[in-house]
Amino acid sequence: MTPETGISMAIEREETRLAVSRNAARLFLERGVAGTSGDDIAAASGLSKRTVWRYFRTKESCVEPLFSTSALGFVTLLKQWPHDATIETYLHAAIQPTAQTPEKIADEVLAVRLIALMPDEPALRTAWLMACQLAEEEVVAVIADRVRDPVTPFDLRLCAAAITAAIRVIDEDISIAAVKHGQPFTLAEVVDRLAAAIRTASTLPICDPMI
């Protein structure tokens, strides 16, 4: 197998996993986790149940790719954060509806609705926390790129853990308020809360321009 073939197969596998994740999410939202079986997810995805279980360990874990796409998408945004911008200025400039494809917006909406479902479906929380852990590992590099003075790996990990936890709390709070209680949020309000949470949680001075 050539390297190109291997890359192509890996991409196809991840695309299939994400497609299954979207179908599982829709079924969980419609029927609940208990009311959805592996057979249901396989049928909605046009796959055999054996194939689904080759990709996922449980039916609840089927939504991990959807959560991960959302969480890692935000981290990718943070990795593009210029050294001369505050967290507030950058996020307001970078988070725009026109910056996302319709497919990505649909994925974000699904993820928000799933997060809002977690108080009633706690089995989904493991998948959500797995995605948050992946994001936390990537945030370490973002912080390392913005610190002026040498810091220990522990300090980097502590800051990444604090920031990721703050983002998770904001995601859950806004998702539940919007979906379950019908509370409206403007994009500017969401960005303000995200930026404030990151600044408050940062245990290292990374939120202002590097001098």
CA triple 76-79-84, angle to 5 deg: 140
Q: Would 34 be classed as within a structural domain?
A: no
Q: Which residues contact 4 (CB under 8 A, 6 or more apart)?
A: none
Q: What is the 3-state secondary structure (H, E, C) of 171-204?
A: HHHHHHHHHHHCCCCCHHHHHHHHHHHHHHHCCC
Dihedral sign, Cα of residue 113, residue 119, residue 124, residue 129: positive
d(CA 138, CA 143): 9
Residue 1: its pLDDT value, please?
60
Residue 2: its pLDDT value, please?
64
Q: Would 89 be classed as within a structural domain?
A: yes
Dihedral sign, Cα of residue 176, residue 118, residue 113, residue 133: positive
- Residue 128's domain comprises 61-201
End-to-end CA distance of the chain: 49
Q: Would 38 be classed as within a structural domain?
A: no
Q: Would 48 be classed as within a structural domain?
A: no
CATH number for the domain including 102?
1.10.357.10
d(CA 152, CA 130): 25
Q: Which two tokens stand for residue 75?
A: 């981290």
Kindly tell me the number of DSSP H helices and DSSP E strands found in the chain: 9, 0
Residue 147: its pLDDT value, please?
93
Residue 148: its pLDDT value, please?
86
Q: Which residues contact 207 (CB under 8 A, 6 or more apart)?
A: 86, 87, 198, 199
Q: Would 165 be classed as within a structural domain?
A: yes
Residue 194: its pLDDT value, please?
97
The string of pLDDT tens digits covering residues 7-59 is 565 678 889 999 999 999 999 999 999 999 999 999 999 999 999 999 999 99
Residue 89: its pLDDT value, please?
97
Residue 9: its pLDDT value, please?
58
Secondary structure (DSSP) of 4-39: HHHHHHHHHHHHHHHHHHHHHHHHHHHH-STT--HH
Q: Which two tokens stand for residue 149?
A: 């003075």
Residue 33: its pLDDT value, please?
95
- Domains identified in the chain, total number: 1
Q: Would 187 be classed as within a structural domain?
A: yes
The whole-model pTM stands at: 0.89
- Specify whether the CB–CB gap between 167 and 101 falls below 8 A: no
Residue numbers in the chain where pLDDT is lower than 50: none
Q: Would 92 be classed as within a structural domain?
A: yes
Q: Would 140 be classed as within a structural domain?
A: yes
Residue 210: its pLDDT value, please?
86
